[in-house]
Structure 1
Amino acid sequence: MLAINPDVSVLIPTFRRARLLSYVLDGLRRQTFRDFDVLVVLKPSGDGSEEVVKKYGKWLSVDLVSQRRGYVVDALNLGLERAKGDIIAFLDDDAIPYTDWVERHVKSYEEYENVGGVAGNVLPAKLCGGKPVKVGDHVSHIIPSFRSSTFLESVFRSVWNVPLDGMENYLVYISKAGIVTYNPKVSEVAWRKPVKSLLGMGANMSVLREAVEGFRFPSQWMLGLASEQFLGWHLWKKRYNLIFNPKASVYHILHGESLTRNVKSAEKDFLRWVENYLLFYRLYGLEPNLSRMHRIIWFILSSIVDLKKLCKDREFQQIVRLRGRLYSELVGQKWLMSKKCLQSNYNIKEV
């Protein structure tokens, strides 16, 4: 249950982002809601990020935590261990919050019943004269603008995008094939009012601290893709309400690289698809509504769509997507075999 006057911990993982981090902290300095502290989990890189954090300690209650090893989910785990606020808000080191960002998150918990997590809008922007400027109107990293699909694509997606039971009206949801996807009908109203959503992006979301007590991300992540939905699923299984509030917004500065902990671009593209597709195997055995049949259908039909784009439309980037899909299945099957071996050894010891 949320406290009457809740306090907030803002968690920022960062790596080699001193220049942008100063804009993020300056955005926090100007918040309308003041009862919050900032927890910066920093992986040292020698770029002067430590000095930036110390500078803003004049205006903000900032705690600097040094991360010696691991990737973004390991930074998040360090932050979850140390966060003290009733609400833990997540912010990327290249996401500049609106002045009412913390206030909007807090109000979302106060105005709606049994809320365990809130996602906010992530708006692509560029820095112009030191100020963030949105790139286009109604452009969002969370609310998709759906292009027209071919008849074949529409039929195929209606088959593999079937949501888990209970997620039919969610903006962001997990399908029975274990894929993170978006509901086009919900996206039509998501600009105007809060809607249900299995969180969104780690650049802008929050959770109730008591709801994530004891939760930690598994370490088999590099980029953290789909980790938000992994966390959201755990809250959803505890029967918390999860919402997307379009007014709780941040500017996501476009600058080429995202928070990927020093992964080269060619590798990053491949890993992005692999990590997205591995969510099925991370949840397999935990979520009974995941379906092997839907997974096989998704694998075959989505591969057909990508091969068509590659051969007919010469979209050569589909090669990376196809490789990622195949590799995720190989890794996932290896995980399942390891689990079976461990369970078999345990059963032998029990006998």
Structure 2
Amino acid sequence: MMETSVIIPTYQRTSDLQRCLEGLSKQYHVPDEVIIVVRDTDKETINFLKEYKTSLLIKETLVTSPGQVAALNTGLGASSGEFICILDDDTFPHPQWLKRIIAVFRSSEQVGGVGGRDWVIHESKTENGRREIVGKIQWFGRVIGNHHLGHGDPRDVDVLKGANMSFRRKAIEGLSFDERLLGKGAQVHNDMAFSLSVKRRGWRLVYDPDIAVDHFPAQRFDLDKRDMFNKEAYYNGVYNETLIMFDFMQKPFQRVICVMWWILIGTKHRPGLLQFFRLLVMKPNNQLVKRFTINLRTRFKANYLRKKLIRSLTQ
């Protein structure tokens, strides 16, 4: 078995992909194989890979279905490494990235997943900051990310970020990325769903800020345009999060508390009643109203559909 596989799903972002591959070729510990998952209709990337010269062992793998979930599952199926690393194509791994990943895995056989900091760069400006809490789900259902701002020593987390996450093959044997998630592109929160699946098996997930990549958020070719509000993309994100959290919270009282928090409080981006009125006083706008109404309706709809699916599978 190979030691390391790196999976890069990509779609029509050849300049970003080239930068990512250049970062991999400069690693202190070069990966044994790099699996690039390409949509079969993406002629631009297919032609780029035919011409691209590199010392890396590249395995081009085609996927026929749209969306990141299908691409990641295809990549998992094509991988051979003991440690399977996943990168976004718009990242640039620092030279010690893979060496550090291997070191953390080797530090304990209980470590099933490893992630690190992605330094987000907009043009020439880097998002700076320092956060102690990274990748945690609080008892009442609030999800804390902060993977791009974490600092300090390695620590156990609940969730790894898809732009920069790795898994031990033994820990993910038989697992796949959740095909129930909505979206035709990014399918947001697929990384959270996968991380929690590994965590439920009893494996540790470790976040180490020194496992670093530069992250240049690139153009998306689906409804989710990052900084532009889209009603359907927003709905998909709320739906996916609700589905995942209700799977994660096994006990009924946990789900009740989570729903109450979503309804009564919420967050800035997914406001409940308290956040809605707070933000309404600060800066009233139509987008806030849309977020509030979609958020509440989708929470209940996602839970209803989830229960319906479970009933159909158990009959």
TM-score normalised by L of structure 2: 0.84
| Counterparts of residues 281-296 of structure 1 (less than 5 Å) | 281-283=246-248, 287-288=250-251, 291-296=254-259
Higher relative contact order (CA 8 A, sep 6+): 1
Give the C-alpha shift of residue 201 in structure 1.
Answer: 1.1
- The answer to whether the 8 A contact 1:22-1:52 is kept is no
Give the structure 2 partner of residue 329 of structure 1.
300
Distance in 2, matches of 1:97 and 1:324, equals 35
Q: In structure 2, the residue corresponding to 1:124 is in which secondary structure?
A: strand
Residues 257-298 of structure 1: CA deviation (Å, up to 9, x unaligned): 34xx522531334433332233223446xx348713212321
Structure 1 residues 54 and 134: alpha-carbon distance in aligned structure 2, compared to 1, 3 A threshold: farther
Paired residue for 1:243?
A: 206
In structure 1, what is the Cα distance between the partners aligned to 2:172 and 2:214?
A: 26
Count of residues in correspondence between the two structures: 299
Matches of 1:100 and 1:134, distance apart in 2? 23
Alignment of 1:1-351 (within 5 A): 7-46=3-42, 48-56=44-52, 58-126=54-122, 135-138=126-129, 143=131, 171-181=134-144, 190-221=150-181, 222=183, 223-255=186-218, 257-258=219-220, 262-263=222-223, 265=225, 266=230, 267-283=232-248, 287-288=250-251, 291-302=254-265, 303-316=272-285, 317-322=287-292, 323-343=294-314, 346=315
The one-letter code matched in structure 1 to 2:69 is V
Distance in 2 between residues matched to 1:253 and 1:28, nearest whole Å: 16
Larger mean CA deviation between 101-110 and 322-331 belongs to 322-331
Determine which structure has more spread, i.e. the larger CA radius of gyration: 1
Q: In the superposition, relative to structure 1, how do residues 289 and 86 fare at CA in structure 2: closer, same or farther (>3 Å)? A: farther
The answer to whether the 8 A contact 1:11-1:79 is kept is: yes
Report the Cα offset of residue 179 of structure 1.
4.3
Q: Deviations over 1:44-74 (max 9, x none)?
A: 4546212333344532101111111131111
CA apart distance, 1:194: 0.5
* Structure 1 match to 2:269: none
Task: For residues 183-232 of structure 1, give each alpha carbon's deviation from its aligned partner in whole angstroms, at most 9, with x where no partner exists.
Answer: 9xx999x4121011123211001000111111012212223322222222
Compared with structure 1, are the counterparts of its residues 60 and 290 closer, same or farther at alpha carbon in structure 2 (3 Å cutoff)?
Answer: farther
How many angstroms apart in 2 are the aligned matches of 1:109 and 1:117? 8
Q: Distance in 2 between matches of 1:17 and 1:318?
A: 32
Unpaired runs of at least 5, structure 2: 266-271
Secondary structure at the residue paired with 1:86?
Answer: strand
Q: Given the two structures, how large is their TM-score scaled by the length of structure 1? A: 0.76
Quickly say closer, same or farther: Cα 1:22–1:289, change in 2 above 3 A. Answer: farther
